[in-house]
Structure formats: C-alpha cells, structure tokens
Structure 1
Amino acid sequence: MTPSSTFTILPGLDVLRAGQAAETLNLLCAQRVGLLTNHTGRTIDGLPTLEALRALGIQVCALFAPEHGPTGTREGNIESGHTEDGLPIYSLYGETHRPTTAMLEGLDAIIYDIQDVGARFYTYSTTLALVMEECARHGVAVVVLDRPNPIGGETVEGPGIHDECRSFVGHMDVPVRHGMTLGELARLHQADAQLDLNLTIVPVANWKRSIHWPDTSLNWIAPSPNLPDYISAAWYPGLCLLEFSGVAVGRGTAAPFQIIGAPWFKPDRVLDAMQPWLANLGITGEAIEFVPTRASYESDRCRGIRFRMTAGSANTPHTIVPLGLCLLATLHQVHPVEFTTEKLERSRRLVGSPPVLEALLANDIPGAQHLAQDDADAFQARREEFLLY
C-alpha cells in the first residue's frame, strides 16, 4: 500500500514514498546511499525504511546504527555487523561515534531516518550532527527524512550548553528542550558549525508546532528501551537531568522518567520543600514506594515521588525542565549527605551550563530558573530562521 496525502500527517519517508519530493528521489535513485536508521524508521503502514527505499529504486549500500542499535533494544556499546543479505551495518555507538573514512568510502549520500524525542541529551541528534560533520569533510551529501517532535515545537526550556560541557549527550548548543525537529536541527547545525555540506530535508507534511504526539495519529514506537510510551518521553527532558546523580528515575518501572527515588529518599520532606514550586509549575507529586527491576537500585525497595500534571492541565508538561532543575537543588538541600555536591556535579553535562549549576548548588532556584529562561528566550529568536513548520 502506498500512502496518499489524505493522511493527516506524513513523515518525510512517507512524503518521499508518496511522490511529493520527486527531485530528491530522482537524485537518490542515481546514487550509492548509506542509511542511518533504526526500528523507528518505518512508513505509516509499518514498512521499514530500508525496504521502503529499496522499493523506490534507491541503492542502499550500507547501514549505520545509532545508540541502542538497529532494533532500539540494546544497552551499552553496539558492535558492527551485517544483515542477513550481507549489507554492512556500521555502529556509531561503539569504538567510534563518527563514521570513518572507510565507512563512507564509495557513498554519495547518507539518508537519516530516526524518530527523536526533543531533548538535547537524547543522543540521536548528536549522532546526526557528527555524521553531518564527517560527510562535509568527505563530500558526502546528507538527506534527513524528517519526523515530528513528539513533545511539540512551541515550548523551549532549559539552558543552552557551554563549550566545557559538550559531550556525546550534548553536542549542539541548544536548550535542554529545544522544540525542533531533527530536520530543523540539521539546518541549525550546518549554520552553527559552518559546514560545507549538501544537505536536503524532506519535511513532514501537515505537522504544526502545536501538535504533540497524541494528535498525530501516528503509532508510538519506543525509540529506546526506557521510553515505552509518549508520556515517558514527555517527562524525559526534566527528570533525565538527574540520570547521573545517584537517584532512580523510573528505569525498570512502569513509569520511566515520571518517578524519582532511592532507598534513603524522604519523599515527604522533598515534597514539602518543593510545594511552592510544584504549584507554580502545575505539577503534583505523590509519595510512593517502588522496586526497580533494573538500572539504579535494581531489586531494592525505594521511597520516592511520582509526578503528574495537576487536574485540568494539558496532558503534556510544559514546565518539565524547570521541575528537573528544582529537583536537583532540592535534593541537595534536603539530602546533603546522600545527594552530595559531587553527585549534583555529575549532572553538569546534562544541565550544560556552569552558571545554572552553580546557582543550583547554592540552592538559588529562582536564579537558576532565570538563567535557564534567558537562554531559552535567546534561542527562541536564534532558531527562527531554521524552522520549517
């Protein structure tokens, strides 16, 4: 079945398949192509990107795999290998995060088709940036088959990233929640990094910045093992800020990134300290107990907090990064022995801004939020010329 434009929203792959990007398709059919994708790359009727491109007459000569591998189920480093029919699969989350000269040899273009979640530290955007940089050096074109930002394109939250905080979980200088699609991020990164690159974006048809995943009519495919549903992805940009700091963030539970806790955690004291902030953010917290089946505190009984939006609030949190920043400071205040300065410092790469982190260490939550909002406001203006929707 070939989709038609009667579908409300068509990701870039389906736009290409429906004949709405004929010039790009004609060029690709005359080239040797590498494909960077995973299990989220598929048509709206479920055909994997590789099969869809082959059916269009595109010669795919190599596959590239991001973090979590081709199936999105792996943790840790991914090894290179081959498909059953002998197509090489090059890992970009193993010995190298960048495609090597040998990997790019003989390729005219790389097609990128992966579903992102809209957070700076979700590594699929870093992989895209590194591929763009290497393709620019080697004269290889990049084609991004764009997909919606599942948590919307209007809200921008959190600080940008300082050079000393750049890493694989923060390569582009964008806020924690950037409100852009990967196609838009590619355009921004090409300009910021001054890349001499032949870049083409096949946009999503009929998507608007106000549209969140539940309104797309698209099937949710977990982009990584700990984002099983849209709700977890919506909370991810905030609670993932605590990922490296020694607390459980819901991995190994039914509500990833909606829960925080630890065996030593005192939820009532944390909630009391946060209550004024929670009310302003439109978020409620409930003291709970849980036992993670994996990750931090695996099999240990933890006390913690389950967060939800207040009654009448939108289903998607629009204040999730401020919640994460508030949590970092509050845990350091309430649990100074367990949540030490050193543990808070572990969040430096995720927060991305030393001034914001210093404010959090001083329990200056208003100051940290003000600095983060200044960055977000400046980025709103800076990103404007790169927006496609």
Structure 2
Amino acid sequence: MELGIDRLISERFKILRGKRIGLLANFSSCNKELKPTIDIFLNQRYCKLNVIFAPEHGLFSALQDQKRAFDFIDSTRGVLVSSLYGRRLAPDQKVLDDIDSVVIDLIDIGTRYYTFLWSAMLLIKECAKSKKTVYILDRPNPLNGVTVQGPVLERKFSSFVGLYPIPVRHGMTIGEVCNLINREYAINADLRIIPISGWKRKYYFPQTGLRWVPPSPNMPSFDTTLVYPGMCLLEGTNISEGRGTTRPFETFGAPYIEPERLCSALKKERIKGVIFRPTSFIPTFSKYRGRLCGGAQVYVQNGKVFNPILLGLAVIKTIRNLYPKEFQWRKPPYEFEKKKLPFDILIGNSWVRRMLMKDEPLWKIEKRWSCGFSHFKKLRKKYLIYD
C-alpha cells in the first residue's frame, strides 16, 4: 500500500516542482517507512517549504486537548510554524501570500469531532479566497470506508467539532470528505487529491499493513479509534472519558460510580460486539485528576456489529439513571463555543440529549437519526474514490 505522500515521493514531487509550499501536518504524519512528511519536504530539492501549519495538539502532537498553541520559528529546521489552534483557527492571509500552493497530510480518524478535518477545511476555505491550489495527500480511514453511523449535524450546531452536515462516522477518507464539502457547500477551492494505492474501503486499519502512529496524545492505538466515535461524547458530561490514563476513551468513570453496579446495568443495554470490565483508576490529568474513580473498561470483540455511538449513549444513559444527583451535563465554554452545551455540539443537535433525559430507548434514538442518512449517503457516493 502507498499513501499519498509515498506516491508524491515516487513521482519526485512532479506536481509541486518550483513552488513555495505551505504544509498542514504534524510529526505524526509519516510515510509507510515512518519518515515524517515534514522532514521529507525539508530534505527534498524540488520545492521550497515556507511554512508548516500545525493543527490541534501542535507540531509534535504533544499538547493535550484544547491547549492553544502559538506561532514560532522552528530553529532546528529554520521554518515558520503557524498554529491553526490558537488565537485563530484559519491561517493569516499574510502567511498565504508567501506561498504558491498548500499541501495537507493529516491522520484523520473518520469521526466528525476530530478537529483535524476542520483545520483542513478552514485552510481550504482561505486558499479558495486567495486562489491557491490545495493538494491532499490521502490516507486510509482507520475505521473503514463503508460504515456510516450517528446523526447528521444540524447547521445551527456548527462548531469546531463539526462545521458541516456530516454524520458522526462518515466512512470516507480525509480527501474524499474534504472534496465533498468543498463542492457541495460552494467553497470551490482548486482542490486536488493524491490518492492512496492498494486500499480497499472494507479495510480497518490493521488490514492496511501500516504501523499505527498516534495522531494526538489520547489516540494511542487503533483500539482507541474503534470506541472514540461514541466515547468522545463523554466530554459533554462530568464522566471521565479516561484522559490521564493509559487507555483513554476505553476506560471511563467518576468518583461517584460503583464499578460492578455500572457493568451490571450496562449489560442490560445489550450493546452488540462489546464487553465491559469493572475497574478503578486515578487520572493523572483532566477530569478528577488525582482522585479515585470507579468505572469500566470497554473491549470491542466484533467491530462489524459494534456501533460506538450507541455505546457512548448507553454509557451516559446508564450512569445518569444510576446516579441522577451526581451526573451533570458539561457547561460551555468548549472548543471555542461559548453558548451551546458541549454535548449538543458534539452530537450535532439537542434532541438526542432531550430523548436521553426522557429515558427513551436507544433504538428510538437510532431510528430517528437514521432518517437523516439517505440524503448524505446519496451525496457521499459521488465523491468515493476507492472500491
């Protein structure tokens, strides 16, 4: 299998020769031999890397969630690093004036909340204004390119964890979904995709033969990505999503939870493809830092029948029912949004929260969001590159 960056190398940067380049990437963006894309660009002679645009978590993928970064000169490499997660989310037009084209190489995990996609889209939007060509070095969706799950975002809930109406799990590569948004929402940038070779839509990440490189501090393994589309919803509550442990998003809980009681109640929700293990943990940072939490660790046994969004909702519903006095919805601000509830901007609407508060069964919630799929699925077909 060859990634977009590998194909660019094999073609000796033919499409970029003689150009001044802005590169949106971090040091997790590597080729199949684990060489960072940034260093590959700095060590070739065909084009000039003038600026690196850094997404959330910074140039080195070292910053924790929602930690803002600033522009700086990387003295080791002698290049400007412009943060797209700080005082601004889109690039400064003055920086764009010093480049001819933009290249994007980011590891996306196929989930609407993951902010790398939105950094890419805001950069593409600015490039459309200044008539700069954008090249996306495509990468596999680690959760496969087939499965579509979760509600489609309602536009009034747009935020930096979801700017355009796509489902939670969209089943597209970053190149495909950027192309869809660019064309369907009249951004009209000159956007070109350098495709992957040897990837099949049905592949989960382990089937690619590539090594896992964590794109952010709390995405340490492929197992994390499997549960993330649902367990990230815990960020909209006072339940710990396991940040500050070695198993973020797989481990969850709070000081007020009794592990065995929780697991017993979760089994009754009959979430397909998973089992729960009672556990206790002490987060080293984030929610409940330094406090003993009771909770569970989730294990995915069958990814083909597993729905992570239903898992996340089942966890919230169950804990809210067991501990109604202790459970709380998180209040803003969250991800640059100061008014709307964090849970609502994550799930992309307010009706899911209202149904959970009425203790509606999960199948009813899923049935309602499934009604909004047909339009997206038709739209999506036009932009699928791979078989």
The answer to whether TM tops 0.5 is yes
**Residue 12 of structure 1 corresponds to which residue in structure 2?**
4
Say whether the 8 Å CA contact 2:27–2:38 is kept in structure 1. Answer: no
Give 1:211 deviation, angstroms. 0.8
Amino acid at match of 1:388: I
Give 1:317 deviation, angstroms. 6.8
Identity %: 32
Amino acid at match of 2:183: A
2: CA distance between counterparts of 1:152 and 1:281? 18
**Residue 52 of structure 2 corresponds to which residue in structure 1?**
63
Q: Which runs of 5+ in 2 are unaligned?
A: 333-340
**Residue 378 of structure 2 corresponds to which residue in structure 1?**
381
The reply to whether residue 302 of structure 1 matches residue 293 of structure 2 is: yes
The reply to whether residue 31 of structure 1 matches residue 19 of structure 2 is: yes
SS at match of 2:225: helix
Amino acid at match of 2:196: V
Q: Deviations over 1:347-375 (max 9, x none)?
A: 11111122222212211123212122333
2: CA distance between counterparts of 1:236 and 1:187? 24
Give 1:63 deviation, angstroms. 1.0
Equivalent of 1:226 in 207, 218, 221: 218
- CA pair 322-377 structure 1, distance change in 2 beyond 3 A: farther
Give 1:343 deviation, angstroms. 6.4
1: CA distance between counterparts of 2:78 and 2:329? 51
2: CA distance between counterparts of 1:108 and 1:371? 46
Bigger mean CA deviation after superposition, 321-330 or 340-349: 340-349
Equivalent of 1:235 in 195, 217, 227: 227
**Residue 313 of structure 2 corresponds to which residue in structure 1?**
325
Q: Give the 5 Å matches for 1:266-277.
A: 266-277=258-269
**TM-score, normalised relative to structure 1:** 0.91
Give 1:382 deviation, angstroms. 2.2
Give 1:271 deviation, angstroms. 3.3
1: CA distance between counterparts of 2:178 and 2:209? 25
Say whether the 8 Å CA contact 1:157–1:322 is kept in structure 2. Answer: no
Amino acid at match of 1:384: K
Amino acid at match of 1:297: Y
**Residue 256 of structure 1 corresponds to which residue in structure 2?**
248
The reply to whether residue 46 of structure 1 matches residue 54 of structure 2 is: no
Give 1:50 deviation, angstroms. 2.8
2: CA distance between counterparts of 1:375 and 1:321? 15
Say whether the 8 Å CA contact 1:348–1:354 is kept in structure 2. Answer: yes
2: CA distance between counterparts of 1:328 and 1:353? 16
Say whether the 8 Å CA contact 2:330–2:343 is kept in structure 1. Answer: no
2: CA distance between counterparts of 1:221 and 1:240? 20
**Residue 211 of structure 1 corresponds to which residue in structure 2?**
203
Give 1:288 deviation, angstroms. 1.3
**TM-score, normalised relative to structure 2:** 0.91
The reply to whether residue 136 of structure 1 matches residue 133 of structure 2 is: no
Amino acid at match of 1:353: N
1: CA distance between counterparts of 2:101 and 2:235? 35
**Residue 354 of structure 2 corresponds to which residue in structure 1?**
358
2: CA distance between counterparts of 1:198 and 1:118? 23
Equivalent of 1:372 in 369, 375, 385: 369
- CA pair 342-142 structure 1, distance change in 2 beyond 3 A: closer
**Residue 71 of structure 2 corresponds to which residue in structure 1?**
80
**Residue 336 of structure 2 corresponds to which residue in structure 1?**
none
Q: Give the 5 Å matches for 1:341-356.
A: 345-356=341-352
Give 1:123 deviation, angstroms. 0.4
Say whether the 8 Å CA contact 2:147–2:171 is kept in structure 1. Answer: yes
SS at match of 1:386: coil
2: CA distance between counterparts of 1:334 and 1:119? 29
Bigger mean CA deviation after superposition, 43-52 or 103-112: 43-52
SS at match of 1:347: helix
Amino acid at match of 1:111: V
1: CA distance between counterparts of 2:330 and 2:217? 28
**Residue 276 of structure 2 corresponds to which residue in structure 1?**
285
**Residue 177 of structure 1 corresponds to which residue in structure 2?**
169
Q: Which runs of 5+ in 1 are unaligned?
A: 1-8
Say whether the 8 Å CA contact 1:309–1:317 is kept in structure 2. Answer: no
2: CA distance between counterparts of 1:266 and 1:287? 9
Give 1:342 deviation, angstroms. 6.2
2: CA distance between counterparts of 1:377 and 1:56? 47
**Residue 337 of structure 1 corresponds to which residue in structure 2?**
325
SS at match of 1:261: strand
Q: Over aligned residues, Cα RMSD in angstroms?
A: 1.9
1: CA distance between counterparts of 2:369 and 2:279? 30
2: CA distance between counterparts of 1:262 and 1:147? 36
Bigger mean CA deviation after superposition, 239-248 or 120-129: 239-248
Give 1:56 deviation, angstroms. 5.5
